[in-house]
Amino acid sequence: MSGRLEGKVAVITGGASGIGAATASKMVAEGAYVILGDIQQEAGDSMAASLGPTASFQICDVTRENDVQALVETAVRRHGKLDIMFNNAGIVGAIGPMESTPAEEWKLTLDILLNGVFYGMKHASRVMKKAGSGSIISMSSVAGVTGGLAPHAYCAAKHAVVGLTRNLAAEVGPYGVRANCVAPYSVATPMVAQAYLGDHTDMDKTVRMLADESPLKGRPGLADDVANAVLWLASDESGYTSGLTLTVDAGITTGSVAGAPRFSEYRPMQREAGKMGLDA
Ligand SMILES: NC(=O)c1ccc[n+]([C@@H]2O[C@H](COP(=O)([O-])OP(=O)(O)OC[C@H]3O[C@@H](n4cnc5c(N)ncnc54)[C@H](O)[C@@H]3O)[C@@H](O)[C@H]2O)c1
């Protein structure tokens, strides 16, 4: 299928790499005009160039409201509208136990993962409410719906994105605007390669590692898996969906684990302590 986003205008933060870049690629292939924002000038320029004339790059640090606002303004100035806002930029941020998490690292992590999303929601919703349509998609994580999977600041920010998405959906729904978020488990991107292997370029090893640890036999999480979910939320196919946290996680948050599940073999049921089977 192609043309699912024909003529739509999208802004993607963190679009120079990983999930943002994969999403940009799919959106362009489906007929959208895409404006990428990122702090990486060179990678952003070359990503936009590789996507062709319907994509462009603009430097944007999501911790600066003016930068995020400027991305939205570029979309409106150039194309007269903004249909899709993907608040995606992120880092792993502060790592370690609570008692040794430096306050400065905590604040910067939240500045990128939460405040950056807030700025995107703020300026996109302003434009979309006026237009009476639009889809705002933000990046949460499995760490946004359960504990124990990521560092504290990351977990806090991603939980906040889930809450903010729900609240925003309630506000903008009456104006014809939708707000949703995605919550992926580990997928192979430079961020994950750096966090797990200490080398953001080693994608092959990252993919192999994720395949080995996957609850879906041999199936690693890929940036394209998340991009496909975002594409659906961006398109009119999801037109009746708002406030959703869409997990893309091989079942991790619903109890799936790597390897054989417990209780997978038949045994007579336990009737009461020490007694098995149906006979008294
Ligand atoms: N990869 C995963 O397994 C995974 C899982 C769940 C959620 N996520 C989230 O997905 C998003 C994208 O991550 P990714 O895995 O594609 O990583 P990535 O490192 O490949 O891409 C992230 C991009 O964000 C940009 N960025 C970082 N700080 C920025 C800032 N202040 N302003 C603008 N851009 C900035 C980076 O330059 C980079 O291009 C993040 O929010 C991350 O938390 C990733």
The matching CATH number, chosen from 3.40.50.2300, 3.30.360.10, 3.40.50.720, 3.30.365.10, for 9-187+222-250 is 3.40.50.720
Give the integer Cα–Cα distance in Å for 60 and 272.
63
Q: From the alpha carbon of 113, which atom of ligand 1 is closest?
A: 41
Total Cβ atoms within 10 A of residue 132 = 9
Q: From the alpha carbon of 16, which atom of ligand 1 is closest?
A: 39
Name the closest-CA residue to atom 4, ligand 1: 186
Whether the CB-CB separation of 34 and 20 falls below 8 Å is answered with no
Amino acid at the residue 24: A
| 196 noted as active-site residue | no
Q: From the alpha carbon of 188, which atom of ligand 1 is closest?
A: 1
Ligand 1 centroid distance, CA of 263 (Å) = 37
Mean pLDDT (the chain) is 96
Q: Residue 280: its pLDDT value, please?
A: 62
pLDDT tens digits for range 169-213: 999 999 999 999 999 999 999 999 999 999 999 999 999 999 999
Give the integer Cα–Cα distance in Å for 199 and 238.
37
Q: Is 120 a pocket residue for ligand 1 (Cβ < 6 Å)?
A: no
pLDDT tens digits for range 5-37: 999 999 999 999 999 999 999 999 999 999 999
Domain limits, the chain: 9-187+222-250
214's CB contacts (< 8 A; 6+ apart) are: 220, 221, 250, 258
Name the residue with tokens 């990046």.
139
Q: What percent of the chain has pLDDT over 70?
A: 99
Catalytic residue among 119, 154, 175, 266: 154
Ligand 1 centroid distance, CA of 274 (Å) = 52
Total Cβ atoms within 10 A of residue 77 = 9
Q: Residue 212: its pLDDT value, please?
A: 95
Name the phi and psi angles at 53, rounded to 5: -70, -15
Q: What's the mean pLDDT in 224-253?
A: 98
Q: Is 151 a pocket residue for ligand 1 (Cβ < 6 Å)?
A: no
Q: Residue 1: its pLDDT value, please?
A: 57
Q: By mean pLDDT, which of 85-94, 214-223, 224-233, 271-280 is the weakest?
A: 271-280
pLDDT tens digits for range 40-72: 999 999 999 999 999 999 999 999 999 999 999
Whether the CB-CB separation of 180 and 166 falls below 8 Å is answered with no
Side-chain-side CA neighbours of residue 144 (13 Å): 28
Q: Residue 274: its pLDDT value, please?
A: 83
Burial class for 138, CB neighbours closer than 10 Å (0-12, 13-18, 19+): buried
